[in-house]
Every structure is written in structure tokens, then in C-alpha cells.
Chain A
């Protein structure tokens, strides 16, 4: 007989080390059916390790895990999923070359005579997608052809298809559009009323606050405290997470001053995704790119960095007209450009290579003499890069894949700062990284701007735009629909502009 207050999942004294480094030590943790449990902590706090263990991907070195009162040891993700524990990992677990329907019904597809029934599978996928208000998604489309935000919805549908008892969401909403986030909120509420427990990991405090009824804070591989939502203030929680006081989330903005223009863009168009964009970027300015996801922000950054072909329109950078013809041309031009890309794992880093090689990847010419790499200059440059962004790394020779997400992103940024860029293009640089690192990035952006660098900053988090930017241009359907400046940059204004509704209507 299962007692009513017995936890659905309980972990006792669980520890895990990777090659001598303690990722989790002596963790006691429990969660109950019908509860949405937020897990908070900085990068490297042990959240990922914790959920990987629950999901059967990792096995603990010590300690016990109880599920529905039974002592369990999952040998694989398949076993955990058969028991009703379903995990959506931060790194998407979809198969790009399979269709949406295949992915949704990946593990337990409907079968006839032992073979997968494609028609039944498609119907099931359609039903699940309809539940997520994603009727626009064709179940026969290949996942590789979908945008990141659509993929994340497919991932959620896939988790639902497994009829979870315990659902783990690891940064599951980081790439979603606002509308989809609302859908997911509603869905989680529905699941909760059906007695499903959810573990929710997010770096967006507002989300955690809106969704969870109980919170647990982790720090340095230890479970610090669990408490009901509302028992502590946001400031207290942040203090628990980072173990120190945080005064202001965003660094103070510079006073508005007239800035000489370094880049003017006029009538920029590309492939029906950019439809005649015009704006100017000032020296030492942080210019935000607002708007709903997928309105051309990413394409704009790629176009400016010379990645896109057949871009039309006029661009003038410090008196020189024309777009760079390639990323190489962009970073070597008189006015140097740098792009911190959307997907750090595929476009930002060479994951298997050492941290050191990644750091100098864009600035090899600075450490080479006559085409030959100067080892002393190389070592100095690498040390400088690591120190400048306070990257927490064991040895520069370790593969960059061994770093936490936040530190990986710091490597990407450090790599581009090494070329001494004049214009820095940032494509959602804080996606899926912890508060501490986010704040370091905000601070660094402001410092760079104060040094006279110009920054074009796209973020899917409106709070970041209003907190960091001197000016924000809001994009809608490939065009600049509104420009907000100074005190006018508020979350409300950003939202109403993004939705292309009249000024003040949303406020």
C-alpha cells in the first residue's frame, strides 16, 4: 500500500564523481506526485547530473534511489522510460533524419503484426501536436528541416507520447516562442492535475515562479534547501544559488550621449525572411534586436557577418559600403566584426578540441609569425583569454566539451574578443546558461560598449533587452516595426511592439 504522503521519487545519499571531480555529493532529494518541482542552481551545481541519474543515463557511485517506494537502479534510459520517467534533455534528443511522427512515437510506436503502423503513428502524432496547438507542424516533415523552437515542441510531444509519471524538463522552454510557452504552461497544469510529477529546470526565474509549487536549490553538487514556492523572496533564492549577495541584475546603463554612426543598414532583404530592414548602429552602443522568435533577427546577424548569399540592400560600415562576403572577410575587415552564434555546440565550438585551440581558432594570425605558430605567444594569448572571462577550466588542454554550458559560452565569447572586434553581433548568447554567467556577460557587454565597441544583441528574453540595451529595434516579419530608446524600453513596450499591436495597447 502506498502511503499518501510517500514521495514518488526519493534519493538518499546519492553521490557521483567524474574522474575525481565531485559532481554530486550525498544528495537527499524527493518529489511528490502531482507537484511541479523547480530545480535551481548555477552551472556546475549538479542539476544535470541529478536528472541524468533519475533518467537512467548515469548511474550513481553511491546512494539509493526509490521510485514509488521501490528501490530502483535503472540500467538505461529505456528502463527509466518504461517505468514512466521521461526526460527532455537540454541538448535536444530528436533524430534529425526521421520525421516528426517517427520522433514523437520513437520508443513505443503503434504496431500492426509487429511492424510500425505508419498511419496510426501519424494520427497519434497529429493528436499530440493538436494538444500542443502545433497544428501547423506536418507529422511527415523531417525534424532537420524545423526551426529550433518547433523542434522543442516536437520534443515535448515526444515526452507526452510516453505517458510520463515523472516528467523532467531541462531548459525545455529556452527556445520557445511566447505563445508556445503559454501552451506548455497550460499543459503542465493539466498533467499536474492528473497526478504527474514534473521536475522543472530553467534559468528563467519568472518561469519557475509561474509554474512550480516547490523549489529545490543546488550549489556545488549539494542540495542546499527545498521549500514551498513563496516561502522565500527572489533575492533570497538567488543568494542561496550563488552563495553571495547580488545587488543588481543588470549593470547600470550609460547616460544617453550622441554617438557617431559606425554602421548603417538600408533596405536589407533576403529570401523573403528580411524585407527591407533599415537601421543605424552607433559607436559604443548596445542595440537590441527585439520581437518574437523567427522574425528575421537571426538572419540579420548572419547577413551582416557574410554568411548569407544574395543579400540585397545597402550597408555602410565606417564609410565602406557593402557587406562582408564571408565570415573571414568580416573578421579581417578594417572594421572587424564578430558573431557569437546561435548554437554554440555546432557553430560556436569544436567540441572535441581542447579549450586552448577553440580560444585561438579565430585569431590564429595573431599568434603566428610567417605562418608558423609562436608557442610562447600562443600560451600567453590563451592565458589572457581564460583570465579575461574567468573561464572555470581545469587545463586549457581539456576538450571544450568537458566544460559546463556557461563556461563553453564564455569560450566562444573569448574567442571572438581575441580578434579585437569593433562590432560584436550576439545571437541569444545567454540561452540555457546560469544566472551568474549571464550577469558576467551583461557586465562584459557594458564594458565593451564603454570601450567604444558597438554591440548588436539579439535575445529571446525581453528582460535582458530592457536591462542591457541603449536602444532596441523590434523586428516583425523581416522589418523594423518599432525603435525604443532609453526609458521607453520596458518589458510591456517590447511585448506590445513584438506582437505588432498599437503602442500602449498591451500595457
Chain B
């Protein structure tokens, strides 16, 4: 375990930072260490965590996706149209929303890989297109996302079972240990475990890291470089779609909010950096970025309980980001060979 953390310094650092911040938060909170607070916090963190996951994959392959926030907005609007009606229609609508996100990511990938357009430009443009499409679908905020679904997915496991009459309404013995866990967290980590962790262990997933680390060497070694780059953007689209779907279910509406899309994109990069993923690619991972997103959120939670002027929030968030990133740079002071700093 200790060895594993030493090999993943980014993940270890963000884990300690998040655990510390969140523990203190609960101690300061009047209703700290309750399921209700956990569920509320989880609901506020899931969308940004999904977007941070989305950003991580292209960054690992030495790319960048400036459209993740916009794709989240677009898929949210799509979900607000499709996710309602009979259970079958709801499930179909959810699937279509995620497919739309992945398809948009794939198009991003094709533009970057086949069109050889720098990722910053390609995704800046495609992000604007995504916002445009979102505005076509939802000129005004609105939509009727299934209410039961909204309740079931944004509360505890017990509520989920209760809503759909599963496992004896949540009373079954095997649900008991998890009954108080927030469903959003299960969705988030479930997606990470079922999609990201297996992907990381495929040849394509390994190639994503290889491309970010040394593209020429990856190519000369005969690795599937293009496939890896394409799947990096595809996964980014898929995770951004997860964020959009969740946001629509949570708010039961779709809203083509341009400002929100931009803020989510920028925060996703901040979360990726906080999680210790190298912006030059090759090092890092999705789980650390989720924790990075959580840290960003916890900072904002503090404002609520400590009664700080909300106008100060951006200032303090910026300082914390700078401090956290500097923590990773302290190692540089101990490097006795200046050339090592350049590597």
C-alpha cells in the first residue's frame, strides 16, 4: 500500500489533501458526519468530477479538450428532452444521451487525429458548436426529466430502493451496510471502476499513456497511436455526457448555460492539475482528478459554513490552487542536478 502510494505521488497527495479538508469541514459543520450532508455534497460534486474525468484522458495523451463543459451542457439539454416517459423510454433516453456525448468526443478525436488540428483550436471550435446545438435544443431553460429518477439518483441507496421498490424497499439485509451511501457517489466511482480502470489495462489505454510520455517512441514501437488518441477524446465525450446526464436528472431541466459550460471546462483543468496529472501527458490518472474536483468543491463548501463573503471565493480558490500545485513543486528544491528540473 505504502509502496503503491509512493509510486503514485499525485494520487497520494490529493488523497491526503482531500481527506484533511473534508474531515475539518465535517468537524466545523453543525450537522457534520451525517448522511444528509454527505449526500448534499456528493450531489454538488458529481458533475464537476465527471468533467474532470473527461478532461484527464486527453491530457494524459498530451492533448486537451476545451469542449468538455460545452459537451456537458449539450448532453444535459439532450437528456432534458429524452429522459422521460415509460421506464423503457427513460433508459433509452439515458443511453442516447451518453452515446451523443461519446459521438461528440469521437468527432473531436477525428478532427484532432485525422485533421491534424491542434487540440486547443479543434476543441475550442467544437465546444462553441456544442453550445450552439444546445441553444437550438433549449433556447430557454426547461424540460421534464422524470421526477422519480431525479429523486432516486440524488439521494441515498435506501431512497433509491424505496423509490423503485427494490430489495424490499431498501430493507433487505444486503442493502443495510450501504443504505446511507449517496447514489451519486456510487454512480461516479462505478463509472470510474467499470469504464476507466479496465480501459487503463487495455493496450489502447496503455498507449494513451505512451503517447503522452513519448509519442515518437510509441509510434516507433508499433503501438496503436491513432486509436489511442481517438479513444482518449471519445472517452472525454462519454464522461462529459455522464456529467450532462446527471446534471439534467438532478435539476430535472436542461439549460444551455454558456457561462456555466466555460466555468466547468476551466475547473476541469484545475482539478486535473490538482490531481497531479502532468499537463505534458503520460503521468496521472482519472481517480486523482475526481479527488481534485472534490477538493475544489470542498473549498466552496467552507464558504457556506464559515460565513465568508462569497465575493472572496474566486480569490481564495485561486490561492488554494496555486498553493496545492506548489506543493508538488517543492521537490524541485531538493533536486541537486539542475538538468533534472528540465525533464
- Contact residues in A for B221 (Cβ distance below 8 Å): 77, 93, 95, 106-107, 158
| CA distance in complex: A91, B220 (Å) | 10
| CA distance in complex: A299, B336 (Å) | 11
Total contacting residues, chain A, CB less than 8 A: 40
Please tell me if the beta carbons of A302 and B339 are within 8 angstroms of each other in the complex: yes
Please tell me if the beta carbons of B217 and A78 are within 8 angstroms of each other in the complex: no
A380 CB–B CB distance under 8 Å: no
A66-87 with Cβ < 8 A to chain B: 76-81, 87
Closest Cβ of chain A: how far from B5's Cβ, in Å? 13
Please tell me if the beta carbons of B339 and A307 are within 8 angstroms of each other in the complex: yes
Please tell me if the beta carbons of B198 and A96 are within 8 angstroms of each other in the complex: no
Contacts A/B (CB < 8 Å), 14 sampled: A77-B219, A77-B221, A102-B206, A106-B221, A106-B223, A116-B201, A116-B206, A271-B336, A308-B336, A309-B335, A309-B336, A309-B338, A310-B336, A326-B338
A114 CB–B CB distance under 8 Å: yes
Residues of A at under 8 Å CB distance from B? 56-57, 76-81, 87, 89, 91-98, 102, 106-107, 109, 114-116, 118, 140, 144, 158, 270-271, 299, 302, 307-310, 326, 346-347
- 9 additional A-B pairs beyond A77-B222, A95-B218, beta carbons within 8 Å, are A78-B224, A80-B222, A91-B217, A96-B214, A302-B339, A307-B337, A308-B337, A310-B336, A346-B342
B213 CB–A CB distance under 8 Å: yes
Closest Cβ of chain B: how far from A399's Cβ, in Å? 15
Partner of B210, one of A92, A98, A309: A98
B343 CB–A CB distance under 8 Å: yes
- Contact residues in B for A347 (Cβ distance below 8 Å): 339
- Contact residues in A for B343 (Cβ distance below 8 Å): 144
| CA distance in complex: A95, B215 (Å) | 8
Please tell me if the beta carbons of B202 and A94 are within 8 angstroms of each other in the complex: no
| CA distance in complex: A80, B219 (Å) | 13
Please tell me if the beta carbons of A116 and B202 are within 8 angstroms of each other in the complex: yes
B282 CB–A CB distance under 8 Å: yes
| CA distance in complex: A31, B7 (Å) | 45
| CA distance in complex: A118, B219 (Å) | 23
Question: In the complex where A95-B214, A97-B282, A98-B213 touch, is A116 in contact with B223 (Cβ < 8 A)?
Answer: no
Please tell me if the beta carbons of B201 and A107 are within 8 angstroms of each other in the complex: no
Closest Cβ of chain B: how far from A307's Cβ, in Å? 5
B26 CB–A CB distance under 8 Å: no
| CA distance in complex: A326, B212 (Å) | 31
Secondary structure at chain B's binding surface: helix, strand, loop or mixed?
Answer: helix
B19 CB–A CB distance under 8 Å: no
B246 CB–A CB distance under 8 Å: no
Please tell me if the beta carbons of A114 and B202 are within 8 angstroms of each other in the complex: yes
- Contact residues in B for A91 (Cβ distance below 8 Å): 216-217, 220
| CA distance in complex: A76, B225 (Å) | 11
- Contact residues in B for A346 (Cβ distance below 8 Å): 342
- Contact residues in A for B29 (Cβ distance below 8 Å): none
- Contact residues in B for A299 (Cβ distance below 8 Å): 337
Closest Cβ of chain B: how far from A300's Cβ, in Å? 12
Please tell me if the beta carbons of B202 and A115 are within 8 angstroms of each other in the complex: yes
Closest Cβ of chain A: how far from B258's Cβ, in Å? 36
Question: In the complex where A97-B209, A97-B212, A116-B202 touch, is A78 in contact with B223 (Cβ < 8 A)?
Answer: yes
Please tell me if the beta carbons of A76 and B222 are within 8 angstroms of each other in the complex: yes
Closest Cβ of chain B: how far from A488's Cβ, in Å? 33
- Contact residues in B for A89 (Cβ distance below 8 Å): 220
Closest partner residue, chain A, to B3 (CB atom): A140
- Contact residues in A for B216 (Cβ distance below 8 Å): 91
| CA distance in complex: A106, B217 (Å) | 11
B225-257 with Cβ < 8 A to chain A: none
Residue-wise interface mask of B (300-343) relative to A, using a CB-CB cutoff of 8 A (1 in contact, 0 not): 00000000000000000000000000000000000111110011
Partner of A96, one of B201, B282, B336, B338: B282
Partner of B337, one of A57, A77, A140, A302: A302
Closest Cβ of chain A: how far from B135's Cβ, in Å? 40
Closest Cβ of chain B: how far from A141's Cβ, in Å? 9
B203 CB–A CB distance under 8 Å: yes
Closest partner residue, chain B, to A144 (CB atom): B343
Residue-wise interface mask of B (270-303) relative to A, using a CB-CB cutoff of 8 A (1 in contact, 0 not): 0000000000001100000000000000000000
| CA distance in complex: A97, B211 (Å) | 10
| CA distance in complex: A102, B282 (Å) | 13
Partner of A106, one of B198, B210, B219, B336: B210
Please tell me if the beta carbons of B338 and A308 are within 8 angstroms of each other in the complex: yes
Question: Which 5 A-B residue pairs are closest in the complex by CB-CB distance?
Answer: A78-B222, A97-B282, A97-B213, A77-B222, A115-B201
Closest partner residue, chain A, to B199 (CB atom): A115
Partner of A57, one of B212, B220, B342: B220
Partner of A95, one of B201, B209, B336, B342: B209
Residue-wise interface mask of B (111-138) relative to A, using a CB-CB cutoff of 8 A (1 in contact, 0 not): 0000000000000000000000000000
| CA distance in complex: A76, B202 (Å) | 20
| CA distance in complex: A118, B201 (Å) | 9
- Contact residues in B for A144 (Cβ distance below 8 Å): 343
Question: In the complex where A94-B214, A97-B283, A271-B336 touch, is A116 in contact with B203 (Cβ < 8 A)?
Answer: yes
Closest partner residue, chain A, to B335 (CB atom): A309
| CA distance in complex: A309, B335 (Å) | 8
Closest partner residue, chain A, to B215 (CB atom): A95
Most chain A CB neighbours (cut-off 10 Å) among B202, B223, B336: B336
| CA distance in complex: A327, B214 (Å) | 28
Please tell me if the beta carbons of A115 and B198 are within 8 angstroms of each other in the complex: yes
